[in-house]
Chain A
Amino acid sequence: MYFLLFEQKVKFNPKGKEDLIMTQNAEKKRVPVVKGWFDMDAGLLVGNRCKTCGDVFFPRVISCRNPNCRGRELDEITLSTKGKLWSFTTNCYKPPAPYVSPEPFVPYTIVVVNLDKEKLGIVGQLAKGVVPEKLKEGMEMELIMEALYEDKDGTEHIIWKWKPAA
């Protein structure tokens, strides 16, 4: 199926994934910023759970970090996607490399969300287009995958981010 959407064509490929085709007919490649922290296609963070004591870890650990357990067998799990906003801040100064900044620098917001289910806090950027003035401690947030930055060739470098839950 093809849709003409302004100047972009959207094609559904046989695997059911959506690829965005630019008018120049080059496919936008999506790569994860870091391997092993999330399943980009599933849109979920990846952690692990200790088989012995049930504690959960993100990112994945090699052995249980509970000092009373120290089990060496863990199940890989995907984490839930909703949690409460613990705090937030808007950075107004350009960080040094390896931060990839647009020129001129654009302030961005960092948030900490405590997952409701796994009860751990995760830092991430606020999703594009969300007004930081709307943020309030304790509000429900949900996980998305979005480009952290884009290469000159149009490759999107994907990372997890947070937005207010629908």
Chain B
Amino acid sequence: MKEVAVLGIGMSQWGKWPEKKYVELAKVAVEGALKDANLAWKDIQFISAGETSFSGLLGMLPGGVLSGEMGWQGIPVVNSFNACATGAYAMDIARARILSGMNDVVLCFGGETAPKGFFAPTSSDPQDLDALRFMIGVTNPTYFALYAMRRMQKYGTTELDMAKVKVKNSKHGVLNPNARFKKVFTVEEIQASPMVASPLRLMNLCTTSDGAAAVVLSSMEYARKHNLNPVKIAAISTASAVYPDAIINVPQLSTDSTISGEPGMSFQRNVAYKAYEEAGLGPENMSCAEVYDLSSAYELDWYENIGLCKPGEAERLLNDGDTSLGGKIPVNTSGGLGAFGESVPAQAIAQVCELVMQLRGAAGARQVQGAKAGITINFGLMGNASSVIVKK
């Protein structure tokens, strides 16, 4: 068993504060997690920080910056970047330190203050793939729009279905004090928002946000010694795609060829499959899920990728109310990216925080009754994706 205990969780509010430094938000999250764990800064033995590329050189060294702010302790600090899956990888590294017996109590955090608008490439040299794809006009929303249009053509997904995902998540988000957008959207408002990349409108896409999240993890032995009954992380999967990958993924302009065989499992499916395998659980054991709704349509893809239903059936799950609070398998009770926007290094940790709250029975108005286990799924670039399973 690869279980580790979640002793504490902490989150800043999500918002947009151009004048704030990311470390200010990170401190809110870290101090919150320590308080929640009933531990002191001095109890932490290892720091695993999720890095952000948007806060200059020191943004790439958030672990050290935070350590300096909180007071140097001489403990090891590691920083990692894995696009939107950064937070999960930060937890995976920390978990490995626990499972190997090298440390008992570790801190993972990620925080960011990101710029507005489209992510832009750092170079204009066409030999740089990221520059070339922008020259052709292939932005990040382009990919999500291609997947959404594919759903519409293949499964008959409608604009109304996509709007309902946003409506659902906004209804959850108003109940979440940490959410950036606390407004219930109507289908009419969503459909009135401007088209960004057909079929996705502005309100079908998520924005970037400033925010930070942190968790304090420990070995199960430590938890037992201190008579704690914490929620556990049962799996962290960071599995990549299997060659040949037939899906067109950000920031590629082409796929692998399937000329010599069947497509390998996409990372979108593989990452969840490996998480279930590691936890010894299946989709039928999940009480709730946090999925990466980068677009409203992408949430529907995730229902299928995490095995909640067969391909093409996600719309039925949505329209039957199964994935709303009160339904059979609520998805994105936090409000999702729709209500938060995305803080790249923090978001995967925020997903885990939501599930931990659910399993503790501490989700307040967002509570899923009798929640026993949950799964997060998250998407990064270049094969970085993550899935974390949390259980009581």
Contact = CB atoms under 8 A, between A and B. Distances in A.
Contacts of B145: 89, 91
A44 interface: no
* 3 shortest interchain CB distances as A-B pairs: A137-B153, A89-B145, A34-B126
A17 B137 CA distance: 29
B257 A112 contact: no
Contacts of B133: 123
Interface residues on B, range: 35 or more
Chain A interface bracket (under 10, 10 to 19, 20 to 34, 35 or more):
35 or more
Contacts of A164: none
9 contacts: A36-B127, A87-B149, A91-B137, A119-B258, A122-B253, A123-B133, A123-B136, A132-B198, A148-B136
B117 interface: yes
Contacts of A2: none
Contacts of B73: none
A120 interface: yes
Contacts of A95: 118, 134, 137, 139
B228 to A, nearest CB: 43
Given A65-B256, A112-B146, A34 B127 contact: yes
A84 B145 CA distance: 18
Contacts, number: 140
Contact of B137 (A54, A87, A108): A108
Most B-side CB within 10 Å, residue of A67, A87, A118, A148? A87
Given A119-B259, A123-B253, A97 B142 contact: no
Interface of A: 33-36, 53-59, 65-67, 86-93, 95-100, 108, 110, 112, 118-125, 132, 136-138, 148, 159
B142, B148, B199 — most chain A CB neighbours (10 Å) = B142
B246 interface: yes
B331 to A, nearest CB: 24
A89 B197 CA distance: 6
A59 B133 CA distance: 13
B196 A93 contact: yes
Nearest to A36: B127
B139 A33 contact: no
- B interface secondary structure, majority: loop
B254 A98 contact: no
Interface string B269-304: 000000000000000000000000000000000000
A88 B260 contact: no
A67 B200 CA distance: 36
Given A56-B259, A89-B198, A124 B136 contact: yes
A88 B200 CA distance: 12
Contact of B260 (A36, A55, A93, A138): A55
B154 A137 contact: yes
Contacts of A65: 243, 256
B140 to A, nearest CB: 10
B101 to A, nearest CB: 32
Interface in B132-191: 132-139, 141-142, 145-150, 153-154
Interface string B250-266: 00111111111000000
Contacts of B248: 86, 112, 121, 123
